[in-house]
Each structure stands twice: as C-alpha cells, then as structure tokens.
Amino acid sequence: MPDRHERREPAACETGPEGLRWRRIGCHSLVPPGELHSCRIANTRHPDSVISLRVLSAKFGKRLGPHGKRAITLITGASTTQLITLAIAPILTRLYSPSDYGILAIFGAIAAILTAVAAGRYTVAIMLPANDHDAVQVTGLALFLAAFVSVFLFLLVPFAIWLLDGVSMIHSLGGWLYLVPVAVFLGSTFESLGYFSLRKDKVGQLAGARVLKSAISGGTQVSLGFIGTGVSGLLGGALLGLATGNTRLIRIYAHSLRAYPVEWPRMKSMAARYSNFPKYELWASLANTLAFSGFVIGVGLIFESHAVGQYALAYRFTTLPSALLGVAIGQVYLREAARLVNSPASALRAFYRAAAILAGLSVVPLIVIGLWGPTLFGLIFGSEWNLSGIYAAAMMPLVWARFVASPLSSVFHIYGKQRILLAFQIMLLSLVVATMLTAFNLEWSLQRLLLVQSFLLGGFYVLLLLGARRTIVRSAARELSAESPAQ
C-alpha cells in the first residue's frame, strides 16, 4: 500500500498564474510531514499547500485544510487577545493619564528598537531548517544572543543615564531604564519560542500563550491602577505578561531540547548557514523599527509627554489588528511559503490568497476609524482622549498599507533577497527622519505630521508588496529558464 506522504509524478506542465507555463518535476522520495524537501517541484497539488481562511465554509461543515485550521487557531487566539485588550482599555485610560501612557510608549519604543537586533534576527530563520535538530540549534542561538545582549545593555544603563541626564525624556524614565534590558530579553525570547512553537505545529499552545500574556498584563495593570501606582503599574503589567507567556512556550522547546541537545559546533554551523539574517535582515529590521518606534522617541523630543500619550493610544489601537491578526497570518504564511519555495505557481497562489485575506480584514477598521475616529475614541476611552481619535484617523492610510504588506515581506527572507528588504527599510527610515526634521523646522502640529507621513509611508508599503510579488515571479522565470535546455 503506498505511503500517504509519497508524492507522485504529476502531469508534465500546466498553466499557472501570470499566464506562465509551469513545468512540474516529479519526486518519488518519501517526505515526512512538516519537513522541507530538497527536490525541486515547480507545482505540487498537495492539500497543505494553500493558505485559506474559509471561515464561512467551516460553518457549513466543509473541511478546512491543515494550514487553514492553523490560521484559524492563531487568529482565534489573536482575536481573543485583542478583545481582552479592548475590554480593559476604557478602564486603563480612566486609571492612567496621557502622560503615563507617554512614558510607557517611550519605554516600549526603546525596548522595541533593541529587541529588533538582540537575537541577530535568527528568530526568523527558525522556520527554515529541513529538520528539527538544526531548528533547535538556531533557536538556541537566538536565545543565547538575546541573553548576551540583554546583560550587556544592563551594564550600559548607568552610563546612558549619566550621559543623557539633561534630556527631559530620559529624565522622566529615570530608574525604569534598568528594566529595558529585561523587556528586551523577554520580548526576544517570546518571539524565538513563538516561531519554534509554530514550526512544531503547536499553534494551540502559541495562541494560548498570547492570550495568557494579554490577560496577565491587562489584569495586573488594572489592579495596580486602582491602588494608584502610576506608570509603574503599566510597566509592571507589561513585563509580567511577557514573562508568563514565555513560561507556556518554553515547555515546547524544552521537549525538543531533550531529543536534540544544543551543540556548540552545530550552532556555529547554523549561524554561518543563515548569516544573511544578521548581515542584512538585522539592519532591515532595525531600520523598520526605528521608522516607527524611533518616531515615538522623536515625538517625545519635539512635543510634550501628553501628546506622546495621545499618539501612543492612537497608534496602539490602530495597529492592534496588525500586531495580532497580521502577525498570526504572517507566521502561517511564512511556514507555508517556506514549504513552497521550490513550487512557484503554488507559492504565487498562496501569496495572492494571503494578500486578499489581509486586505479584506482591514477594510472595515479603515473606514470606521477614518470617518468616526474622534467620536469613537472619546466615547470609548473618555473625553480626555478625543485627540487620540484625530491622530488615529490621520494614520489610517499607513496602517492599512502596512497591515497588508508587512506579513508578506517574509518572501524576501525565503528567497534570499534580504538586501532588497534592507534597501527598502533604509529608504523608509530616511523618509521618516526627513518628515520629522521638516515638522520641527516648520513647526507643524502632530496631526499634520501624522497625515503627511501616513500617505508617504503608505505608498512605500504598497511598493514593498509589489516587490514581494515580483520576487516570486522572477524566481519562477529563473526556474523555467534553467529547465529549458533540458527540454
């Protein structure tokens, strides 16, 4: 009886997307589920090869594919997390002032910039090895780098406080800067373990960890807010939530670690194999994070902490779908795209489906916040936060474009085009810096600055999406060109 994992020789060729003719290359070797295969298959009709979110069909009892179920699980967890965040937000905005939110935003921006580089971006490479033994080594490498960088940062904090003591923004943070390395380590660890859990198909545990993180964080912030702790309640809740989420995910990695212990020579080999990530992806990620988290720091330098808090609330809730749903869909797409790297026709179909899903999910928030943002923010968060609604409406073009394009940018990682992504992120950062300097020199209001940036940066993200699609098409063209002499 033939094994169910055996891939049989399909027809010679078929017409795929873009009107191209894709040649199928058969492969009779046995492929365990969940592993990449080295054989080149230009198009495989495997049931796992398409990302689909046919939620409505599931209601009628139709069968979802394995990857569709994974996406639904992650999105369900992300939606639950989002509901928790939305449910407690009206309470938090009445317990904490815009200035408290401003300090939290600056703290989070500094931590986010450092977290983007702490693990050398080897976190993204966790999905790529062909076997779990190598994936354990890559995960161990990412965790080691995160711990080393965090300790180094902790030693630098006293010097940073002394050097920048005259800056009002740093002065307002004060001793809280010592918690930045802690946040960096916890954030990098959660990202690394999240990718490893996804690789192991532990999507239920990953979704549960995110829900737990949000619940613990929100519950702690509300509890401490009622006793009047101020900004320490916001910071303490955020860190406790991250730590709790990590305790759920570390068990998955520990189980694989017992089967495949970390080996220093093998870890060094993996570091060399995926060296493009620290060489190019790290700088691209840093530029991207600086473009947004660095913007928060820039707002703190130009405007008052009250304005930073208003902007922080607007940014948090306009980007909430991207941070939760977008990340969930992007992680599932990354896993699927890695499986289809040698199947350009299927890869392009998966790309189109993921883009359509992301675009569809973002239409309603775009319209609602764009038209009624100030009114909604005032009703939900209190009259003190009306300005946040104005800022949110100004940001919507950028939020929509980023929500669609960012999860699909993993195409550049998979096809080894980190240099293109790096160039894009450097241009994006340059544009942010240019608009910030213009706003400072011309004394723009924060609303005008946000509106100008939203349209300029939104256009850049549309170009990124088109570039990702072109990368897949050009990969298919090269494969066809390589096969033509043999035909």
What is the 3-class SS of 209-228, one letter each residue? HHHHHHHHHHHHHHHHHHCC
Residues in Cβ contact with 209 at an 8 Å cutoff, skipping those fewer than 6 apart: 190, 194, 197, 245, 246, 248, 249
- Please name every residue paired with 275 in a beta bridge, in sequence order, or none if there are none: none
Angle between helices 282-302 and 305-318 (to 10 degrees): 140
Per-residue pLDDT for the chain (487 aa), expressed as one digit of tens each? 444 444 443 443 433 433 433 333 333 333 333 333 333 333 333 333 333 333 433 443 344 455 566 667 766 777 788 788 888 999 999 999 998 999 999 999 999 999 999 999 999 899 889 899 999 999 999 999 999 999 999 999 998 888 887 777 777 787 889 999 999 999 999 999 999 998 888 888 888 899 999 999 999 999 999 998 889 999 999 999 999 999 989 999 998 888 888 889 999 999 999 998 898 888 878 887 888 888 899 888 888 888 899 999 998 888 776 666 777 777 778 777 878 877 777 888 888 888 888 888 888 888 888 888 888 898 889 888 989 999 999 999 998 898 888 888 888 878 878 788 888 888 888 998 999 999 989 989 999 999 999 999 999 899 989 988 888 888 766 665 655 555 5
16-51 burial string, b = 16+ CB within 10 Å, else e? bbeeeebbbbebeeebeeeeebeeebbbbebebbbb
The backbone torsions φ and ψ at residue 274, rounded to the nearest 5 degrees and listed phi first, read -105, 35
The answer to whether residues 103 and 172 touch, using CB atoms and an 8 Å cutoff, is yes
The pLDDT of residue 178: 93
CA distance to 221, 226, 363, per residue, from 230 (Å): 10, 9, 36
Looking at this protein, which amino acid is placed at residue 265? P
Question: Distance between the two ends of the chain, CA-based, in angstroms?
Answer: 33
Q: Which of 435, 433, 434, 428 shows the shortest CA–CA distance to 405?
A: 428
Tokens of 250: 């570390």
The answer to whether residues 332 and 70 touch, using CB atoms and an 8 Å cutoff, is yes
Summary count for the chain: helices (H), strands (E): 20, 2
Q: How far apart are CA 78 and CA 81, in angstroms?
A: 5
Angle between helices 66-95 and 327-339 (to 10 degrees): 160
The answer to whether residues 106 and 173 touch, using CB atoms and an 8 Å cutoff, is yes
pTM reported for the whole predicted model: 0.71
Q: What is the DSSP string of 239-300?
A: HHHHHHHHHHHHHHHHHHHHHS---HHHHHHHHHHTTHIIIIIHHHHHHHHHHHHHHHHHHH
Q: Which of 457, 452, 425 shows the shortest CA–CA distance to 438?
A: 452
Q: How far apart are CA 464 and CA 71, in angstroms?
A: 23
Residues in Cβ contact with 80 at an 8 Å cutoff, skipping those fewer than 6 apart: 207, 211, 214
The pLDDT of residue 310: 93
The residue behind tokens 């495989």 is 44
The residue behind tokens 């003190």 is 384
Domain range list for the chain: 69-274, 302-487
